[in-house]
A and B are shown apart, each in its own frame.
Chain A
């Protein structure tokens, strides 16, 4: 016997079906600082700023960091270790996979017991037509061989058509900075 849902029931069931699909298939982006990134910080794998000789080593060159956009159907989150193109916006409509280079003119600093860092400028994708709805931006070290991933930042689902998409960074302080260690 073929089951056929009545139109009215289908209307009310549709939102729950979409939610269930996301939960059951577990595709969703989750805001997080990647666990592997914390280990890499302890290993000195990322240089967000340059520093003078400190008795251990001298870092004269900062790494470069990119921000890439990911579809709502992706599954980026705390368990990520490296940037890859799985779930990223397709290379179309003026989007280049790998994302955009962040401006990093402000060294990491601290206030009280909290250290923090924020890119010194936001990003704009000009005249973009996104290949689908997206709701996450992945921050990764573009200078590192493996493109180690730092964090995932989520926002409301956006689809862009023949126009600009802008991400503005939060205030660079101990309460709001993009990356904080407390």
Chain B
């Protein structure tokens, strides 16, 4: 049984109360998604507990850059 770290849903407010907790992964609903366009290829993974997202990761692969055009012309080449 694998345990993963999630955002704790309820905290008791004590200063040393961690915002994270370990939970059995099988108790969570896991979904994945992706977005692929001219700008980026992004994937994400979401884990939900009682329909609330308690863990979400994302990986953004940048595609589109920023371009300075015409500087060479201004320099006279």
Contact = CB atoms under 8 A, between A and B. Distances in A.
A162 B20 contact: yes
Contacts of A85: none
Summarize A's interface: helix, strand, loop or mixed: strand
Contact of B6 (A160, A162, A180): A162
B68 A162 contact: no
Contact of B53 (A153, A161, A169, A177): A161
Interface of B: 5-7, 19-20, 35, 39-40, 42, 44-45, 53-69, 71-72
A33 interface: yes
A164 B63 contact: no
Contact of A155 (B19, B20, B39, B67): B39
A166 B61 CA distance: 8
Contacts of B61: 168, 170
- How many interface residues does chain A have, given as a range? 35 or more
B56 A38 contact: no
Contacts of B57: 160, 163-165
A161 B63 contact: no
A31 B40 CA distance: 12
Contact of A182 (B45, B55, B59, B69): B69
Contacts of B72: 113, 181-182
A133 to B, nearest CB: 11
